[in-house]
Amino acid sequence: MAVIKQCMEHTYNSLFPKKLNNKKSVFAINILHIIGILLLQIGIFLPPRYMKYYIIYIVILLITYIILNNRCFMTELSNYISGYNYNMLCFNLNDTKKLLLAYLLAGILFDSYPEYSLYTLLSKLVSSK
């Protein structure tokens, strides 16, 4: 549990550091960064009609990781504007890419077979009660 707390503190302090240039711009970018991460996490539960957009989003993220040599484009943008080099992750980026690939495969599966999507299965479960 202490590791999770430490990771959360590191991430928060990296997203909203006290010492930086262009504070408002950096905070706005990092709030968009958080929204993007939330969309990535909950996107797997979207209705099947939106799954194509989720797949495109993940592919774009993976491509930017390749182009930027395993760096997140939002982190790079934030660092560029702030003038500081913050690493917002407290875990290995290879693990992040594996997670993205898992989300991509699930998104492709749910797009191809909407009857097995998490949204459809959860909707059926909720409506049956």
Contact 55, 108 (CB under 8 A): yes
Reduced to 3 states (helix: H, G, I; strand: E, B; else coil), residue 2 is helix
In whole angstroms, what is the distance from residue 64 CA to residue 128 CA? 42
In whole angstroms, what is the distance from residue 119 CA to residue 125 CA? 10
- What's the pTM? 0.82
pLDDT in tens, 39-81: 999 999 999 999 999 999 999 999 998 898 888 888 888 888 8
pLDDT higher at 116 or 70? 116
